Structure 1
Amino acid sequence: MNRRSFLLSLGGLTLSQTIVGCAGNNQTKLNIQLLKGSIPSQVVNQFRQSLQEKVELKFAPVEQIQDLYQRLLSWQQNPKATDEPEWTRFIPFRNSQTFAVADLVTLGDYWLTTAIEKKLIQPLEAAQLKQWSGLDLRWRDLVTRNDQGILDPQGKVWAAPYRWGSTVIVYNRDKFKQLGWKPQDWSDLWRDELRSRISLLDQPREVIGLVLKKLGKSYNTENLETVPDLEKELQTLNQQVKFYSSNTCLEPLIMGATWLAVGWSSDVVSILARYPQLSVVIPRSGTAIWADLWVSPKANAQDALSSQWIDFCLQPNIARQISLVTRTNSPIPTNIAASDIQESFSSLLLNSQEVFAKGEFLLPLPPESTKQYESLFAKMKA
């Protein structure tokens, strides 16, 4: 799932801020490759200041989760990869670039099963994580899996969350003012006034999932044939949709071609400040939740410094900074008040515990269930 194509940096690390600190050859090093904009630069500076010894810190922001996943794949093929010298960028007809194997990498929860199954990452040492026991049980369950990437309470801890968001409804306030109502839940997408006025994500799990939620079912329903009227509901919803896109579902809304869009909160935050006519709402009945996680590449040895960084991100004051600057939610309570944030972002950051309680992770499904979702989604759009 590619849920990052519309994301802009929100005061986080930029590509020009790759190296923090300096060190000699014998000093301890920490190399982290992270999603651009997902960690504020001041948090990295505070981490450096908190260390007892001098450490060479390298934080390299990367544009999309998919690119980070591709690096995990490349390190599996070349576990001794190192950064190429700067001058090699100017060699004509050069097609590839190598990157030194990182100690930690950002990965989305949706990619976790595949990364484990393909042996791209290794388990974390949960015993070294001081903040681990303070995480909600749902977070610990999410990343505790067997060697096939399936949730297993007896499995190993494969990742640690540091921020999360959800699938949301974004709408044009001016258009809805004419209608005399505001969208509040998934059921509003079926209202007659919105025929051919909606843009949806081009994702079977997301679209069929929101219909399941409307019908009082789970996003993770395994056998869709057991859900009465599901196909009928999907066909009716399809009549409301003008565009399907996972990369550009918000663009038709911005241009006025649609009045409402369903998108990921990480994409939405980058446009709210620039387009004041847009508002966002988290459906009352519950929605899908995504998470950004720290994972350890298989090709690298783990050290205590990696655990220190993960723990640092889960400290209440640091987690609060990450939430406020990147406008996402934290896996631990942060006590953000309405006065701390712009009003346009209040629905995303306030009441996060209630949203989390009603929300669902998109958990791995059996292959036969995945085929059901894909087949039904294709039939819906035909």
Structure 2
Amino acid sequence: MSISRRKFLRQTAYVTSALAGASSLSACGIFDKDPQGNESAKEDAPRPVTQDKQTLYIYGWSTYINNQEVLEGFTKETGIKVVGDAYDSNEVMLAKLEASGGRSGYSIIYPSDYMVTQMRDKKLLAPLNKKLLPNISNIASNYLDLPHDRGAVFSIPVSLGTTGLAYNVKAVNSIIGEEPTDWSYLWEHKSKLRITLVNDPREVMGMALHILGHSYNTKEPDKIEKAFQKLRELMPAIANFTTDAWRDPLSSGDLMICMAFSGDAISLARQDPNIKYILPNSGTSIWTDTMAIPRGASNIEGAHAWINYVMKPEVAAKISDANSFGTTNKIAKSMIPDDLKAIKALEPTEGMIKLSDRITKLDPEVLQIYEGFWTRLTTGLG
């Protein structure tokens, strides 16, 4: 099961009820119903606050808690049984932990990078005991000093993702004659293209801000408005704003290019050789998924054992293979399957990282500005 990046980045102030209104092709039946639209993977059953040390309760994205090979390997190695519950957004996880007052019953969580900052500020995370994590030496040092958690005090980054362009090679070459290399391609060929953009205001508005020379996290209203005007120029080419329902239309050639999150796009490219995924030359957004221990965790020792286990190169390689994300584990990079390693866009180069940005948490009043322009864009209000 792939993870939608929309679910990684969704923030509480987003208003998404009107987002489906801007589709022309969906009305023609090209787009199926979002396969994850009604998905509710979260587990509502209460977990025991007082637990035996032979059971570890994990709250995370489905790709982590459903990987039976990894779960069973941990139990075999440690004797600790794993019980996993899934959530479908960072905010669902945050709300559950806040409501519990530190007594959620979970000892491991998987917050995305921006959520680590928010949870740290709310004092919802327990500091890591690095003495219990000898395998931390397997993590590339640059990922242990990211802005959301300098020095990896509260979290360990496990998966690396990007946002880029997935495209149908035959369709693009037959109609345009050249393949895309940057975001600017969308504007240069807008009269001939059929595309989708992700259903995520921060990603889409951020992309437009980026090509105008501004940060994905711009707070200035005039710059945000200019990004909106830039995106309006693309409207004739945009078939839909969708994060998930582009795969089949892209493979069939009904769509030519789709803005996509790396795990989704690379998974499709591994199945269909006519699909490619690239990172735009001018840069893009980069993000990470982390492991952390919530405040009040009852099995601290088991939680550290889990984190240390996941940092084993062979385990990290299995996780990367399962979700088609890049890995922060420097040793695991050589152990992932050849077909995955062959995809150049799996992980950004150092040069690409310097050109790119990380989406960070914004204040509610700034988010409202983004929302206003996003609603105008996706509903065609102009």
1:179-210 CA-to-partner distances (Å, cap 9, x unmatched) read 21001111111123555611011222111111
Shift of 1:355: 4.3
**In structure 1, what residue type is equivalent to 2:157?**
P
Q: Distance in 1 between matches of 2:159 and 2:35?
A: 18
Unpaired runs of at least 5, structure 2: 1-5, 10-33, 43-50
TM-score norm. by structure 2 comes to 0.73
Task: Give the paired residue count.
Answer: 334
Write the distance in 2 (CA, Å) between the matches of 1:183 and 1:364.
30
Q: 1:243 to 1:341 in 2, by over 3 A?
A: same
Counterparts of 1:135 and 1:324 in 2: how far apart (Å)? 18
Alpha-carbon distance in structure 1 between the residues aligned to 2:287 and 2:295: 23
Distance 2:85 2:268 in 1: 21
After TM superposition, give the deviation of residue 354 of structure 1 in Å.
Answer: 4.8
- Residue 37 (str. 1) matches residue 33 (str. 2): no
Q: How far apart are 1:311 and its partner, in Å?
A: 2.5
Q: What's the counterpart of residue 276 of structure 2?
A: 279
Cα distance in structure 2, aligned partners of 1:65 and 1:110: 16
Stretches of structure 1 lacking an aligned partner (at least 5 in a row): 8-13, 16-24, 82-99, 145-152
The residue aligned with 1:141 is 146
* Secondary structure of 1:122's aligned partner: coil
Contact 2:117-2:148 at 8 Å conserved across structures: no
Q: Matches of residues 344-363 of structure 1 in structure 2 within 5 Å?
A: 346-349=343-346, 353-363=350-360
- Higher RCO (CA < 8 A, seq sep 6+): 2
Alpha-carbon distance, 1:346 to partner: 0.9
Percent of counterpart pairs with the same letter? Answer: 21
Hey, which of these two has a bigger chunk of strand by percent? Answer: 1
Q: How far, CA to CA, are the matches of 1:27 and 1:113 in structure 2?
A: 29
CA distance in 2, matches of 1:176, 1:244: 20
**Does residue 379 of the first structure (1) align with residue 376 of the second (2)?**
yes
The yes-or-no answer on 1:192 pairing with 2:189 is yes
What's the offset of the Cα at 1:75? 5.1
366-375 or 247-256, larger mean C-alpha shift: 247-256
Q: Counterparts of 1:47 and 1:353 in 2: how far apart (Å)?
A: 33
Contact 2:251 / 2:274 at 8 angstroms: preserved in 1? no
The residue that corresponds to 1:313 in the other structure is 310
Distance 1:169 1:47, change over 3 A: same
- Coordinate RMSD, CA, aligned: 3.7
Instruction: Name 2:108's counterpart in structure 1.
Output: 104
Q: What is the distance in 1 between the residues matched to 2:144 and 2:102? A: 32
Distance 1:215 1:249 in 2: 26
Asked if the contact 1:220/1:363 (under 8 Å) is kept, the reply is yes
Q: 1:308 to 1:353 in 2, by over 3 A?
A: farther
Q: Spell out the pairing of 1:267-306 with structure 2 (5 A cutoff).
A: 267-301=264-298, 303-306=300-303
Q: C-alpha deviations, 1:298-322, integer Å up to 9, x for none?
A: 4423512212221232234433333
Quick one: which amino acid aligns to residue 169 of structure 2? R
The Cα of 1:76 is off from its aligned counterpart by 4.4
Q: What is the deviation of 1:118?
A: 5.9
The answer on 1:125 being equivalent to 2:128 is yes
Corresponding position: 1:218 with 2:223: no
- Which one of the candidate residues 315, 325, 329 is aligned to 1:328? 325
Q: Is the 8 A contact 2:128 2:293 kept in 1?
A: no
Matched, 1:232 2:259: no
Of 46, 49, 65, 2:88 maps to 65
Deviation (angstroms), 1:342: 1.7
User: What is the rounded CA distance, in whole Å, between the counterparts of 1:321 and 1:263 in structure 2?
Assistant: 23
For 1:225, the aligned partner's letter is: D
2:7 corresponds to: 2
Q: Is the 8 A contact 1:199 1:250 kept in 2?
A: no
Moved over 6 A (4+): none
Which residue among 46, 56, 62 is the counterpart of 2:80?
A: 56
Residues 57 and 311 of structure 1: CA distance in aligned 2, closer, same or farther (over 3 Å): same
1:268 Cα shift? 2.2
How far does residue 165 in structure 1 lie from its aligned partner after superposition? 0.9
Deviates more, 1:228-237 or 1:289-298: 228-237
> In the TM superposition, what are the counterparts of 1:251-262 in structure 2 within 5 Å?
251-262=248-259
Instruction: Between 26-35 and 263-272, report the one with greater CA deviation.
Output: 26-35
Distance 1:261 1:50, change over 3 A: same
**Residue 167 of structure 2 corresponds to residue 167 of structure 1:** no
The more displaced of 327-336 and 349-358 is 349-358
| Distance (Å, rounded) in 2 between the aligned partners of 1:36 and 1:209 | 27
Partner of 2:22: none
What is the CA distance between 1:334 and its match in structure 2?
3.8
Q: Is residue 249–residue 262 contact of structure 1 (8 Å, CA) maintained in 2?
A: no
- Cα offset, 1:359, TM superposition: 3.1
334 and 132 in structure 1: CA distance in 2 versus 1, 3 angstrom threshold: closer
CA distance in 2, matches of 1:43, 1:353: 30
